[in-house]
Structure 1
Amino acid sequence: MTTTLAAGTRAAPPTTRRGRAHAPLRWLFVLPALLYIVLFFGYPLVRNVVMSFQHYTPRTYFTGEAPFNGLANWRAVFSDSLFTDSLWHTALFTVGSLVGQFTIGLALAVFFSRRFRLSGTVRAVLLLPWLVPMVVSAVVWRRLLDQDHGVVNSLLSALGLTDGGVPWLNSPSTALLSAVLVNIWIGVPFNMVILYGGLQEIPRELREAAALDGAGAWRTFRSVTLPVLRPVVTVVLVLGFMSTVKILDLILALTSGGPADSTQTLGTVTYQLSFMQLDFGQGAVVGTVLLLVSAVFAVLYLRANRTDLGKEG
């Protein structure tokens, strides 16, 4: 009996031996993905951080010399009031865009979840802003919001809402708001499509059970629909944040960062430093700040998601 127990403790289970034998094969399947991430994501990110501590100029591309200058680039960027203003503008632009896109997108998704005649056609029309390139949309809206000849001001004047043209893109007090409104118009279709798909996956029995318990439409939406839709909402907000916080082409086509730098964001400042002033070191600093902001948001999202999974478990 003792011999049998000793033999049983020495011999590994067949499942464990099979798993150890297949471990190298599993790593072979994972290796291409790891190499891709390291080459196309890891190396550029590390290179950008290193560049932020170097005196990197156009001459560097010919001589290969980029001496380290310590924190000189960081001090120059953080001491510039434009950076502080652009950080604040980026926060306002991102939060305003996300709130507007999500609110309108969710309202449209709920509206179209009830089938009616021509609903498919209307949804297809609403998808057009998402399909048009962002630069094209920005150029069109720049014409529409023109102070003197824009269609928007002409319509407002015809309705008697304004006496003169509203300086949508020409005034520091309204330019950032105009950029937010245009970005909301562009991003609403994406939010609507994803949230509409999530609503279609909610079992009808849940809403019917809530109705039998006497819950009204708003109570059913707040207590049943939103909790079930939470994973989809999280994905929409995360993707929306990642695409909005670094936006560049929309701002450049609408206002070029003006007037009076009132629409300068971290993305436009990076572009200005790197490709207008050709100071790639300082441009890398702002790019690194963007990476840090995105990383903090990603960590908070992962922790919140892990907490939710722990509660469900």
Structure 2
Amino acid sequence: MTATAALITKDPRRARRKVAFASAGTPYLFVAPAVLILMCLMGIPILLVIVYSFIERAVTNPDFTFVGLTNYTEALTDRKFHDALAHTVLFTAGSVLAHLVLGLFFALVLNSKFMPVGLRTSLRALFIVPWLFTIAATAVLWRLVLHPNGVLNSVLAAVGFDAQGIEWLSSHALALPTVIAVNIWAGYPLFMISLLAGLQSISPELYEAASIDRAGRVQQFFHVTLPQLKTTIVSLALLDAIWTSQQFPLIWLLTGGGPVNATEVAPTYIYKLAFSQYEFAEASAAAVVVLLISLLLAVLYVRSNAKAVKEG
């Protein structure tokens, strides 16, 4: 007789409790290494940033003088920080909205039954190309395209536009819209693929029922397609908002936050404040503010997913 069998025979209730505890704890043992790594790589740095935001001259001050909310007051009253937050909102809202519109449009095109299979496959491969590039490659590619003597100006001049010497990334008026456009190009394939999967999961019977009720294609789109994609759209929009609001490498490699802070967003502002001006305490306070905004978006994302699971 094994030890487990002997234990069950001797005390069945105690044995069942131990088995239930072991079964409940096994999943946590599997995720424990990942959680430990995340705590070391993310939890500790975040905790240090929060601590630095409450002390004077963080990192450079060995005395750790507590100053309360002084650093937060300085950060929140800094006009450059206000401008960076405003640019972050514009950059995020413009990118997410365009990602959604373009992604849905291309998903509808690729899901069309009237398109030949070969053409559909070719377009799918073509539309997904921007997603294959790394951020660094995307930035280098678009810097070449957007150069005053680059491809874009040459093409515009060839079709009759006066595009000689346009500074797409150096113009105060054009820099932010141009960076948004580049980010849109780089990010729409995620929406396209996700929404295409959502479209293909919609039951054809819903469209047949709508057709029987004499609903046109436009009515089917608004009363069948969009409601069925609602959960996917909300989740994608919130997730993309979190990612886009934290976008640093693309903007840094394209413009560095310039010209004259025209494309300065929260991540580039915090980076410059910390590593160019060595104001680590104020930079930590600004980073905590951005962290709270990101946590709010993360909570909305988790709640939307939980609601979708309950409804599903």
1:284: which partner in 2? 284
Could you report, residue by residue, the CA deviation over 1:37-72 in whole angstroms, capped at 9, with x for unpaired residues? 544444333332122112355546xx6x53333223
TM-fit CA distance, 1:175: 0.6
CA distance in 2, matches of 1:118, 1:163: 34
Deviation at 1:80, TM superposition (A): 1.7
**Equivalent position amino acid for 2:256 in 1:** S
Q: Does 1:22 align with 2:20?
A: yes
Task: Look up the equivalent residue of 1:85 and give its one-letter code.
Answer: D
TM-score, with structure 2 as normaliser? 0.85
For 1:152, the equivalent position in structure 2 comes to 152
- Pairs within 5 Å for 1:96-175: 96-114=94-112, 115-116=115-116, 117-147=118-148, 149-162=149-162, 164-175=164-175
| 1:182-197 mapped onto 2 (5 Å cutoff) | 182-197=182-197
Q: Distance in 1 between matches of 2:249 and 2:41?
A: 22
Deviations 1:170-198 (A, max 9, x none): 11111100000000000011111111111
> How far apart, CA to CA, are the structure 2 residues paired with 1:164 and 1:38?
52
Q: 1:54 to 1:238 in 2, by over 3 A?
A: same
CA distance in 2, matches of 1:275, 1:306: 40
**In the alignment, which residue of structure 1 is the partner of 2:7?**
none
CA–CA separation in structure 1 for the residues paired with 2:210 and 2:192: 24
Residue number in structure 2 paired with 1:3: none
CA distance in 2 between counterparts of 1:109 and 1:19 reads 51
| Aligned-residue offset at 1:84 | 0.4
Structure 1 residues 68 and 24: alpha-carbon distance in aligned structure 2, compared to 1, 3 A threshold: farther
1:267-313: per-residue Cα shift (whole Å, max 9, x none)?
Answer: 10111122222332222222212211112223344555666777x59
Question: Are 1:45 and 2:46 an aligned pair?
Answer: yes
Which amino acid is the alignment partner of residue 160 of structure 1?
A: G
> Scaled by the length of structure 1, what TM-score is found?
0.84
Residue in structure 2 matched with residue 262 of structure 1 by the alignment: 262
1:211 deviation in Å? 1.5
Question: How far apart in 2 are the matches of 1:120 and 1:309?
Answer: 32
Give the SS at the match of 2:261.
coil
1:80 matched residue in structure 2: 78
Contact between 1:57 and 1:278, CA under 8 Å: does it hold in 2?
A: no
Q: Distance in 2 between matches of 1:27 and 1:281?
A: 41
Q: C-alpha separation between the residues in 2 aligned to 1:245 and 1:178?
A: 17
- In the alignment, structure 1 segments of 5+ residues that lack a partner are 1-13
Q: Distance in 2 between matches of 1:19 and 1:238?
A: 41
Q: How does 1:223-234 map to 2 (within 5 A)?
A: 223-234=223-234
Alignment partner, residue 55 of structure 1: 56
The 1:308/1:133 distance shift into structure 2, 3 A limit, reads closer
Contact 1:58 1:278 in 2 (8 A): no
Gaps of 5+ in 2: 1-11
Residue 162 to residue 246, structure 1, CA distance change in 2 (3 Å): same
Q: Distance in 1 between matches of 2:163 and 2:187?
A: 31
Name the structure 2 match of 1:9. none
CA distance in 1, matches of 2:109, 2:163: 36
Q: Give the superposition deviation at 1:262.
A: 0.7
The one-letter code of the counterpart of 1:190 is L
| AA of the residue aligned to 1:46 | L
Aligned residues: 295
Contact kept? 2:81, 2:266, Cα under 8 Å: yes
Q: Which amino acid aligns with 1:159?
A: V
1:95 paired residue among 93, 96, 101:
93
Q: Alignment partner of 1:23: what SS?
A: helix
Quick one: structure 1 residues 185 and 19, their matched pair in 2 at CA, closer, same or farther if it must change by over 3 Å?
A: farther
Q: What secondary structure is seen at the aligned counterpart in 1 of 2:104?
A: helix
Over aligned residue pairs, what C-alpha RMSD do you find?
A: 2.6
Question: Which residue matches 2:4?
Answer: none
Q: Percent identity?
A: 35
Q: Is the 8 A contact 2:235 2:305 kept in 1?
A: no
Counterpart in 2 of 1:11?
A: none
